[in-house]
């Protein structure tokens, strides 16, 4: 399993001439990709987040002289920039060498020692992020959601009275279901879903608004390169097929979900909305934050096709994650969102490469821009829960908020904010930004 090695683009001693980039979520050591537009009538175009600005790659691709610097593979970087200007998926399909070439060119053009001419050219392609609209980072063709947190699986079982046992197959393969790409969005305002559910103590379902609306703290894995139909991707190839990662909130209607999931998987309880953060942080940007991947000795070790020396050496990723909640009352009183949980992606039982390999092992063909959700990310302690069903024990122990309110599940007007950041000594902190969504009242069919 190859992975991006540390290189000059990770240098912590390299500030940017763009002051807002230094010390922000988006320094030049990050350079995440997304899509933006200045007017609703405009087409979405590819950009890169730098500090409080968005760098317009469509503009820069038309002025290739900014790519000509020592250490840049100018021909490949130019091809990569022009591909991104057409469609981010075109850049993805060029593969890791092209991704790296463009990253180096962007890094050098934004570094403090860039020439005055380059600074002028690049500066003319910057847009203040608060003056543009941000869309989904790429046009997503397919969406699959995994279930890869042992702690989440254990906690939910306890909360709903099934006990702490986890299904045996969980320990042997990353489990997933196919989601609905059409309901993916950025900064969503979503209506509480309608559906069938069975109330506690009842035997027949009723139709109405979801009563147990939940969020799920997840990360999004963005597929980079296609694999041919019928051709599985091996562990050795997996990371070259992954472009990067973002934040994901897989909203869940728990009452609808638990009624319908017998015997098949999630359907109406999940397909109404899934929120994404606007930016894709590349795997190369995450290189300083890689960790050894270790499995609890008490659990079965992966089968050979999901294992490898490289996986065990650096298959994990150290990402600090948090969930904040802002109620309508808090908003009306000018109170900021309150953090209600904090955890880390390193706790997942399965890693990103294993998820991609398992998805393709039967011959499924993934495409550039496809999204794989990691499943809820929970840690070993109660405060590290990635969903309110865990925090509030399926509604039995509502969480107390600083506003004086309590929440067993989400109420109309609640806004949920996910955040992610990578930090370690000797590296520049990089962030994922925010994934935000607000709950609106139901619309009856």
What is the residue whose two structure tokens read 């794989």?
A: 372
State the number of CA atoms in the 13 A half-sphere of 150 facing the CB.
19
d(CA 353, CA 305): 11
Q: Give the CA dihedral 156, 301, 264, 218, nearest 10 degrees.
A: 50
Per the rule left: phi > 0, alpha: psi between -120 and 50, beta: everything else, 301 is beta
Helix axes 116-123, 96-110, angle to 10 degrees: 110
What does the longest C-alpha to C-alpha distance in the chain come to? 73
Planar angle of CA 281, 282, 285, nearest 5 degrees: 90
**From 3, 10, 152, 347, the catalytic residue:** 152
Show Cβ contacts of residue 194 under 8 Å, excluding neighbours closer than 6 positions: 207, 208, 209, 210, 442, 443, 444, 445
Query: Parallel, antiparallel, or unpaired for β 430-440 and 188-191?
Result: parallel
Q: In whole angstroms, how far apart are CA 423 and each of 36, 149, 348?
A: 27, 22, 18
Tell me if residue 367 is catalytic. no
Query: d(Cα 427, Cα 14) in Å, to the nearest integer?
Result: 11
The first and second tokens of residue 163, run together, are: 């006990």
Q: Measured in whole angstroms, how far is the alpha carbon of residue 119 from the centre of its chain? A: 31
Q: In the numeric block, which tokens belong to residue 48?
A: 């890169």
Catalytic residue positions, numbered: 152
């Amino acid at each position: 399993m190859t992975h991006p090695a540390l290189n000059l683009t990770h240098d912590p001693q390299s500030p940017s001439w763009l002051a807002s980039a230094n010390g922000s979520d988006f320094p030049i050591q990050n350079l995440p990709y997304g899509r933006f537009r200045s007017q609703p009538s405009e087409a979405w175009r590819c950009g890169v987040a730098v500090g409080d600005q968005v760098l317009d790659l469509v503009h820069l691709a038309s002025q290739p002289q900014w790519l000509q610097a020592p250490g840049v593979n100018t021909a490949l970087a130019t091809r990569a920039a022009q591909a991104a200007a057409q469609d981010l998926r075109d850049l993805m399909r060029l593969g890791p060498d092209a991704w790296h070439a463009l990253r180096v060119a962007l890094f050098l053009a934004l570094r403090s020692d860039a020439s005055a001419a380059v600074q002028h050219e690049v500066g003319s392609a910057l847009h203040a992020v608060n003056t543009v609209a941000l869309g989904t980072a790429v046009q997503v063709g397919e969406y699959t959601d995994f279930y890869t947190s042992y702690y989440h699986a254990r906690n939910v079982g306890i909360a709903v009275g099934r006990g702490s046992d986890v299904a045996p197959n969980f320990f042997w393969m990353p489990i997933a279901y196919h989601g609905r790409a059409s309901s993916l969005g950025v900064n969503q305002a979503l209506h509480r879903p309608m559906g069938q559910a069975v109330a506690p103590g009842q035997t027949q379902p009723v139709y109405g608004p979801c009563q147990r609306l939940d969020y799920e703290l997840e990360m999004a894995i963005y597929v980079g390169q296609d694999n041919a139909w019928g051709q599985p991707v091996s562990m050795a190839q997996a990371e070259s097929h992954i472009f990067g990662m973002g934040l994901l909130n897989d909203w869940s209607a728990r009452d609808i979900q638990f009624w319908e999931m017998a015997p098949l998987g999630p359907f109406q309880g999940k397909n109404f909305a899934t929120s994404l953060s606007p930016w894709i942080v590349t795997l190369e940007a995450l290189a300083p934050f890689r960790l050894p991947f270790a499995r609890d000795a008490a659990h079965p070790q992966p089968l050979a096709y999901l294992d490898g020396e490289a996986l065990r050496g650096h298959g994990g990723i150290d990402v600090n994650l948090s969930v904040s909640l802002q109620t309508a009352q808090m908003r009306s009183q000018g109170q900021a969102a309150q953090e209600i949980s904090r955890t880390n992606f390193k706790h997942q039982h399965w890693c990103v490469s294993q998820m991609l390999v398992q998805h393709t092992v039967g011959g499924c063909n993934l495409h550039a821009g496809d999204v794989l959700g990691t499943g809820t990310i929970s840690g070993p302690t109660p405060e590290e829960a990635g969903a309110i069903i865990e925090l509030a024990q399926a509604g039995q122990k509502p969480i107390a908020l600083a506003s004086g309110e309590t929440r067993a599940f989400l109420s109309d007007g609640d806004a949920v904010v996910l955040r992610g950041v990578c930090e370690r000594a000797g590296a520049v902190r990089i962030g994922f930004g925010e994934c935000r969504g607000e709950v609106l009242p139901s619309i009856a069919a």
